[in-house]
Structure 1
Amino acid sequence: MLCGELGLEVKRSGDSRKAQFKELERYCTYSKVGHSIIIDKVYEQPLEKPKRKGNNTVYSELIQLLILDMLAQNKKGNMSISKGMLIKSVSLVNHNYRYCFENRKSLAKYANTDAEIVKDFYDSSNSTFKKAIEQALNKLVEKRLIMYDTITKVCEKGKFRPRRASPDEKKLVMLSEKQVLDELGYREISHVRVSRHWNEFKRRSQALINKCSNIKYYFIAYDITANDKYIENECEKLIGFLLKEMDRNEYKDKLNKTACSKLLVNAEGRHKTAFLGFKENNFRINDNYINDVKKLIDLLINNDAENIAGQIEQIKTQDDLSFDIELSLPSGL
């Protein structure tokens, strides 16, 4: 009857009905008595609709802003950048993140944590950051501020600047990597990326590519075309002014703190759901799981972290030396 008086569609499902009552609160105060709804007071002007400004919204807007700022600084109308470089450039991660990914075993020793937890941390953070970056890019596409494609780029031996890979070069990369995947017994590259064979996979794949081409290395990049005419206006809408160096660092620091908080909340969620009985992730049940994730956030994400490349390299060198000594000993010792 109330919906009929107000000319509203009747919502019968739980969430839709709750949302309709929430909307009604913008126009009046009311109380429920049995099946009756008593209207106590009607506002002369409807209250402003509350804006949803959750953590995800703030997260996305900061990434959008910093991507637009990079494009505005670039002044070329186009930018090709790898995912790893992009998440570092907007300060989602710090200087240790990529180097320690290549040396996860040594990182686990340095952080005094299990290798499984290090693997779990990188799996979840890589997934979170990829999703966040692509959501921000897609939002900018919706606003018609950018268009982007995912492309393969190669750098030739003796040359500094990478270029877009040709179809033949992409086929060569696929053939080489598929051959090594099969030899190592993996079906998907995501599986070997988080395994102990990752460095071997890269070395053997690159050797095959080098044997058949002049390619020094290749990588996947976002190729972004900017709508230059409107980018500065959008920056002004988001923050009221164009970014100067001090402001830029402030927003990067804000995004970095949000990333640290988000990764910890995600880890706490994984810790709780681990008790539901998923045996393959039983290490998440351990009491030290959250503390270990905090340590990894401080080392790999937090902008204030010291550079630990030297310490990680020292552990790696010691491990390699121990391995060589072990192999050189007679089998009876």
Structure 2
Amino acid sequence: MINIKLDNIKVGDVFKNYKELCTALDEIVKGGDSKKYQLIDWERYFTYDKQGNKFIIKEIHESVKAKQDNRKSNNLLPFIDEMEILLLDLLIRKYDNQTVLSSSKLMLELCIINPNYHKYFMDRSKLSKMLDMDIGYVIDFYDTTNATFKSALNTVTKRLTSKKLLIHETVMMVKFIDTSIQITPTGHVNFNDVFAYDEATDTYINKNIKPKEIYRPATDEEREYILKVERFILESKYKADNIQEVFLSGKINNYYQDVSDILLKKLNIKKAYKANRYTYDVNELAKQKHKLLSKYQLRETQDQLNLKVRLRIDENSNKRYEKAIEQLIKLGHTKKEYRIENDYVDNINTIGNSLIDIHNGDSLKVDIVECEVLDSLL
């Protein structure tokens, strides 16, 4: 049943602020997330442009759109439009025509998640203890959201690629330890890189060499060696045929640490990870951003995207709960018993507030890190 008074508005109407529009629609004035939910819900009835505090009515829909429709007739995630705008803005701000970003870093930059998501992806037991809930809820949360985020990144990249706004490539990056020590033609360390010679005393003074950590694409030789090491560790130590088997065994962190240990010892590579390389024309991106931002404000877009991510997670957790209950009634059992618990949806919501809500990034006090394991799965 339609409760808002659409008869009080028409295309072209200008309302000086949110409260004035609420009055016209006979809607309650809200704040915080409740207001954001309300603004999203209004889009089922009409569309509007924002100019500062003003609301300009652009279209009134002939029929009310379903909540899950999100202005798309297919299964497109409801926050892809916002992701497109924020990715354009991110690339433009790099002031270059090529940018390399890991998927985990990209998720953070686009306001899909907050820093806690990376941190506890690799320490789920600690998160379950901090939130005082069974680890099964945390595992379920990561398994389901990771699939959603992978799909979202692929979708927005394909959209911009199809518009011929960028070229996307997956590249292997390395964190290389550069000592700047040269090797002589005979295979020895050049003493000038290690010692300073004092002619007056005929002594060698040890230099204080500080290695530099450099992020760069792996060379062809490095990629070949890295692949050999990864396969060797996979088969010899973990007796697995593919990386998914290691992940499901709960030993994925140990696996990547074993790989990194060998790479550091043999190649001076501290870690290797997948990343996205975008090539583009900054001017063309700026044109597209300007075109889209006639409808969105950047800060509002970040908030809207993050809110829609949380809404989708809540919606999906409710569906999983209902499906598990149906399965229990029909079959007398369900594969994942924690999904039929009364607090399942609330627990997933609690995890989401801690790991996804960009306004709660400081709630668990973590450092911003790129997640090597997460990047391997995206």
Task: Return closer, same or farther for 1:192/1:309 CA change in 2, 3 Å cut-off.
Answer: farther
Q: Which amino acid aligns with 1:108?
A: S
Number of the residue aligned with 2:265? 211
Contact 2:120/2:127, CA 8 A, preserved across alignment: yes
CA-CA distance at 1:282 after TM superposition:
2.9
Equivalent-residue separation in structure 2 for 1:57 and 1:121 (angstroms): 18
- Give the 3-state SS of the residue equivalent to 2:255 in structure 1: helix
Contact 2:174/2:269, CA 8 A, preserved across alignment: yes
Number of the residue aligned with 1:173? 226
Kindly, what percent of the aligned residue pairs are identical? 24
Number of the residue aligned with 1:271? 321
The worse-fitting range, judged by mean Cα deviation, of 110-119 and 276-285 is 276-285
Contact 1:113/1:292, CA 8 A, preserved across alignment: yes
Contact 1:141/1:147, CA 8 A, preserved across alignment: yes
The worse-fitting range, judged by mean Cα deviation, of 202-211 and 101-110 is 202-211
Number of the residue aligned with 2:348? 293
The worse-fitting range, judged by mean Cα deviation, of 229-238 and 217-226 is 229-238
Q: Which amino acid aligns with 1:287?
A: N
Q: Once superposed, what is the RMSD of the aligned Cα atoms?
A: 2.7
Q: Deviations over 1:173-207 (max 9, x none)?
A: 22222233332243332343355322222221211
Match of 1:229 among 240, 263, 283: 283
Structure 1 portions without partners, runs of 5+: 1-46, 313-333
Contact 1:155/1:162, CA 8 A, preserved across alignment: yes
Task: Return closer, same or farther for 1:85/1:306 CA change in 2, 3 Å cut-off.
Answer: closer
Contact 1:256/1:301, CA 8 A, preserved across alignment: yes
TM superposition outliers: structure 1 runs of 4+ over 6 Å: 47-52
Contact 1:145/1:231, CA 8 A, preserved across alignment: yes
- Give the 3-state SS of the residue equivalent to 1:297 in structure 2: helix
Number of the residue aligned with 2:122? 102
Task: Return closer, same or farther for 1:287/1:192 CA change in 2, 3 Å cut-off.
Answer: farther
Alignment of 1:108-123 (within 5 A): 108-123=128-143
Task: Return closer, same or farther for 1:217/1:135 CA change in 2, 3 Å cut-off.
Answer: same
CA-CA distance at 1:50 after TM superposition:
10
Equivalent-residue separation in structure 2 for 1:237 and 1:89 (angstroms): 21
Number of the residue aligned with 1:6? none
Number of the residue aligned with 2:151? 131
- Give the 3-state SS of the residue equivalent to 1:80 in structure 2: strand
Contact 1:145/1:227, CA 8 A, preserved across alignment: yes
CA-CA distance at 1:60 after TM superposition:
0.9
Equivalent-residue separation in structure 1 for 2:142 and 2:280 (angstroms): 31
Task: Return closer, same or farther for 1:262/1:49 CA change in 2, 3 Å cut-off.
Answer: closer
Q: Which amino acid aligns with 1:271?
A: Y
Task: Give the structure with the higher percent helix.
Answer: 1
Q: Which amino acid aligns with 2:214?
A: R
Number of the residue aligned with 2:250? 196
Number of the residue aligned with 1:258? 308
CA-CA distance at 1:307 after TM superposition:
2.5
Q: Which amino acid aligns with 1:272?
A: E
Q: Which amino acid aligns with 1:307?
A: D
Contact 2:170/2:274, CA 8 A, preserved across alignment: yes
CA-CA distance at 1:165 after TM superposition:
1.1
Contact 1:99/1:309, CA 8 A, preserved across alignment: no
Contact 2:115/2:355, CA 8 A, preserved across alignment: yes
Q: Deviations over 1:290-317 (max 9, x none)?
A: 11101100110011215355599xxxxx
Number of the residue aligned with 2:90? 70
Task: Return closer, same or farther for 1:58/1:119 CA change in 2, 3 Å cut-off.
Answer: closer
What's the TM-score once normalised by structure 2's chain length? 0.63
Structure 2 portions without partners, runs of 5+: 1-60, 178-210, 368-378
Contact 1:123/1:194, CA 8 A, preserved across alignment: no
